[in-house]
Chain A
């Protein structure tokens, strides 16, 4: 099973600042099949990034994904008020599919 470790657990930032979220895999993620989701309270997760760096339809370009192999990053270039949420990384290359533990981005 591929274990995904996200860091930091919580990120305290102000609107307008840059957010950098990390996801490290216990083994290489095949084809870089790594996705990022945003989840707000009481809502289902929303797909932001897939294939490590491809933005999903309708996702603003302030969100970007990078990385390959075992190290992946989600960057939010300038935080908007609606971006304060929990973010999960997810590998869909190898069964069982697994998720990271999440990074909470909170208002400082």
Chain B
């Protein structure tokens, strides 16, 4: 059974870049879609984007200009970068594996707070 574990700084300053690394175990990253979904405290879910194992990406247009998702197949990892963050980007960030575009498997979530 695939497992996803997110890691990265829990605190990011405004205007800086949020970085999240998702490590995949129990399966190869060389298939499926891989991506991120976030949830501000006490609020609903927002899809950020996906990367396909081939390297093609699709992002939420609301974040498109600020987000990059990349793959490192040698480490069985994928990474999220979100630049120019504000307090509105404070959220629990989930690493997900997509069966097609269906978010099928989820990591436990990583809280990232944007604050000076």
A contact residues vs B (CB 8 Å cutoff): 33, 35, 43-47, 50, 56, 88, 90, 92-93, 95-102
Contact = CB atoms under 8 A, between A and B. Distances in A.
A98 B101 CA distance: 11
A96 B109 contact: no
- Chain B interface residue count: which class? 10 to 19
A35 B94 contact: no
B62 A88 contact: no
The list of the 9 closest CB pairs from A to B, nearest first, reads A44-B106, A97-B47, A92-B101, A99-B45, A96-B60, A92-B102, A101-B44, A44-B109, A50-B102
B61 interface: yes
B103 interface: yes
A35 B99 CA distance: 12
A44 B47 contact: no
10 contacts: A45-B94, A47-B104, A50-B102, A88-B45, A95-B58, A96-B60, A97-B60, A97-B101, A99-B44, A101-B44
Interface in B84-116: 94, 98, 100-104, 106-109
Contacts of B106: 44-46
Given A33-B101, A90-B45, 16 more contacts: A33-B102, A35-B102, A43-B108, A44-B106, A44-B107, A46-B106, A47-B102, A47-B103, A88-B44, A92-B98, A95-B60, A96-B47, A99-B45, A100-B44, A101-B44, A102-B44
Contacts of B61: 96
B72 interface: no
